[in-house]
Amino acid sequence: MIQRLRGFNSDCRDYAKKWQALDQALYRLCQKHPDHSTWAPVAAKVWIIGRTYATGIERKIRSKRTQGSSLTQLTEHILANRGRVKSIFSRLEDISGPLTLEKLKQIVIQHGKFMRLLQPKLHRKQSPRSFASKYMHFHCSLVPLYDTLAVKALQHLYRWQDSFEVFDMPPEADEEYGWHVMRFWQLYQDAQQNGRRLTVKLLDYYLLCVAEELRKQRVSPL
C-alpha cells in the first residue's frame, strides 16, 4: 500500500519545474476567453485542452475524413448550444477556493449537465466524462479532473467506505464522476489537515505520480 501523501511535496516541486507553466497558459486562455459565443475562442479551448490533456474526445466523434473534423464538430455543437453552456459555466464563475462540500456538489451537477450536453455528438453513446472535467477545470480550478489514472490512484489510496458518500447524488450528476469526486474529497481533506500546500491541480498531479508508481509495481486497484 502506498502511504497517503507520501512524496506529495517532492511531486509539487516536480510539477512546478516541469508542468506548471503549461497549465498556467491554459488557465490564462480560459480567463481571457470565458464565454462560448464565438468560434475562435471556443475552438482554441476545445483544441488545446482536448489534445494537451489527452482527453480522447477526438476519437469519440465520427470523423468526416478532413483534418480536425471531429473537434470542429464539437466546437459547432458547443456554439449551437451556447445558451445552455453559458448557464452551466456561469454557475462555475462564483466557485473559488477553498473547496467545500456545497461547492463540490455544485461542480458535480454542472459536470453532469455539460457531459450530457456534449454526449449527442459522440459515436455510440460514448462518454465525454474526462473531457468535460478537464475543460471545466481550466475555467474553474476547483473542478476535480477525471481520467483512468486518477481513478486508479484514488481507488488504491481510498478503499470505498459508506462514510465517503458526503452528499446525496444529484439527479443531474454523472454518477461515476460523482463517486470519484467523493473519493477526491477524502484526499483533499487529508492534505488540508496535514498542512499541505493545496490546489486541486497539485492533487491531480500527485494522483498521476501515484498511478505511475502503481504501474511500476503492477499493483491493481482495490
Asked if residue 133 belongs to a domain, the reply is yes
Q: How confident is the model at residue 220, as a pLDDT?
A: 56
Write out residues in the chain with pLDDT < 50, as ranges.
1-2
With helix as H, strand as E and coil as C, how does the chain read? Answer: CCCCCCCHHHHHHHHHHHCHHHHHHHHHHHHHCCCCCCHHHHHHHHHHHHHHCCCCHHHHCCCCCCCCHHHHHHHHHHHHCHHHHHHHHHHHHCCCCCCCHHHHHHHHHHHHHHHHHHHHHCHHHCCCHHHHHHHHHCCCCCCCCCCHHHHHHHHHHCCCCHHHCCCCCCCCCCHHHHHHHHHHHHHHHHHHHCCCCCCHHHHHHHHHHHHHHHHHHCCCCC
In a domain, residue 172? The reply is yes
Q: Does a structural domain hold residue 81?
A: yes
- 19-55 residue pLDDT tens: 999 999 999 999 999 999 999 999 999 999 999 999 9
Domain membership flag for residue 3: no
Residue 150 domain-assigned?
yes
pTM: 0.94
In which domain, by residue range, is 30 found? 8-217
Domain count of the fold of the chain: 1
